Amino acid sequence: MPQFMMPAEGRRAPGPEDLDIDPSVAAKISAGLGDRRSSARVPVDEPCTAVVGTQIHHAELRDVSEGGAMLRGVPGLTAGDPVDLTMPRLGVRRFAMTVRAVSLLGAHLSLRYPDEDAEGWRDEIAPLASPDRPRGRA
């Protein structure tokens, strides 16, 4: 039976901003991570649902790209962990992702099956890349 992991009412999921990281350090971390993606990252603050094993987490995407995303708010992830991801405001499709790395900024995910899921993922994140995209929580 899945367990639901949600922040207490009125609280949000903890994230790297709670660590009081100097902005210049965060920028250096981001710059160092930039080489792994073949497409541009789009900063977002998009609520999502991440299923890890039997646990369901309500979390946030911090950025998205054509091949993956950065996830915040799911404790205990390590490189190689499988994560099933949905973005309820955008659709109901579930994407199989893999944790590629974990940093102070969050868990860095890539599509587990890029050949099968890339087109659907691009369609799903397209509204996030548009200038008039929905922002934040609904």
Residues 108-137: pLDDT tens digits?
Answer: 999 999 999 999 999 999 988 776 655 555
Nearest to 100 by CA among 115, 88, 110: 110
Cα–Cα distance for residue pair 138/136, rounded to 1 Å: 7
Under DSSP, is residue 95 helix (H, G, I), strand (E, B) or coil? strand
> What are 75-101's pLDDT values in tens digits?
999 999 999 999 998 888 999 999 999
Q: Which domains does the chain have, with CATH numbers?
A: 3-8+16-129 (2.40.10.220)
Q: Which position has the higher pLDDT, 11 or 67?
A: 67
State residue 37's pLDDT score: 52
**What's the pTM value of the predicted model, to 2 decimals?**
0.70
> What are 19-66's pLDDT values in tens digits?
555 666 655 555 555 545 567 889 999 999 999 999 999 999 999 999
| Helix/strand/coil percentages in the chain, nearest 5 | 25, 35, 40
